[in-house]
Amino acid sequence: MLLSKSLQAATAAALLFAAPVFAQQPDIADQTVDTAKMLRDAALKDDTAYNLLESLTTEIGPRLAGSPKEQEAIDWAIAKFKKLGFDKVYTEPVMVPYWERLSEHAEVLAPFTQPLHITALGKSVGTPEGGVTAEIAHFKTFEDLQKADASDIKGKIVFISNRMERHIDGAGYGPAVRARGAGAVEASKKGALAIVIRSIGTDSHRLPHTGGVNYVEGVKPIAAAALSNPDADLMERILTRGKPITLKLDIQVKHHGEVEMANVIGEITGREQPEDIVLIGGHLDSWDLGTGAVDDGAGVAITMATADLINRLAPQRPRKTIRVVLFAAEEIGLVGARQYAKVHGDDAGKHHQIGAESDFGAGPIWALASNVNRDSTFVVDKMAQLMRPLGVLRHERKSSGGPDVGQMGRAGMPTLDLMQDGTDYFDLHHTADDTLDKVKPEHMRKNVAAWAVFTYIAAEWPGEFK
């Protein structure tokens, strides 16, 4: 069909106006693709990540936020960054509340007697000395607790029995975890003496899952604990007998106030655009029950090893700076990440070009998702293509960047998610089972291979992701 002269002119003008949007973004050089392939293949033969994880879990172990063990981990990370030859190694201070569990005990006293396996939720207050003994008020979900009448709760111990569903991407965590985070406040508003919840996990082991509880000003804090999943099943079976359950709960903790910890930062300086940053990392702290191997020692090791692998290209390093941040005190409320975003948030999407986080264990990466501008999606597509031999697919969801790096994402920095297979992650999450023997060296290698592709291309490509 022929166009009128006026329509032809308008169309030409529109094309001229639109063309620069795409012309502004350069292609990915063939040499960049070849180097990314080389790094990918080299990572599959390299055990730096696993060796770092072995060192962290063996020499430091559990790294409770604010504790002397977190400080040991900070010192460990500084020493490892320097030994690996990072150009810059430094810390940024973070004030962290230090909470410590002292003892925890629970038992059913009636209508039968049964010992229970529990763990205090992080930041929980304690019970009075000697514990509390009361009838339980059972709710299947947090939403049921919200709807309940206070007269059915006052003077009792609330028990929430909601179950977490297993998904490859951990999608069952969000709906279930409300019981842990907000349950204590809701129960306290209605006069409960304490709260116990079914562990937020997918396993059937008699190992309870800890995790943070949140309190709010103006609502009396009450003791909060998680039952192992088999013990939660036991409680539900007892309830089918039609008789009230009397529970004794005794939790003793100590709040030490705020102490100074730090985010630990290692950098590989860019050769041409050193002020521009590709941000990667994980969190250095862990809960105190296991040794923090999958949460998040694996992420710490994967991102450190990724930058180290790329650093071996010296003197021909990428044009932009690779910054690895090991965040403090993630488990008790993203404390280090929020401090980082407070300091650097104005730079999100400017010199902080793009970021991603490894904080979902050590399972193999199966998908790549992004939150970048439309005109740079071809770069992410190329990354996914190069990761395909590792079993990685391109995912259509919008990425968040992870809990810690995602704080910069919320401030405007483009992000990627290298999505790990989390089918069994919540079997181990926040339990005493979070130990090195659960991590497969070959999975660590595959993680680094995928991370190397993303990190190198992001740091070498001269275009903009925002």
- Report, as residue numbers or ranges, the catalytic residues: 330
DSSP 387: H
- Number of Cβ atoms within 10 Å of the Cβ of 437: 9
Question: Is there a contact between 426 and 173 (Cβ–Cβ < 8 Å)?
Answer: yes
List the structure tokens of 306. 């990724």
The dihedral through the CA atoms of 341, 347, 349, 353 has a sign that is negative
CA dihedral (306, 309, 313, 319) in degrees, to 10, reads 10
User: Strands 273-283 and 246-268, how do they pair?
Assistant: unpaired
Contacts for 242 with CB less than 8 Å, ≥ 6 apart:
none
> Which amino acid appears at position 234 of this protein?
L
Contacts for 284 with CB less than 8 Å, ≥ 6 apart:
63, 70, 73, 74, 77, 264, 296, 300, 326, 327, 328
Question: Is there a contact between 258 and 98 (Cβ–Cβ < 8 Å)?
Answer: yes
Q: How far is CA 68 from the centre of its chain?
A: 22
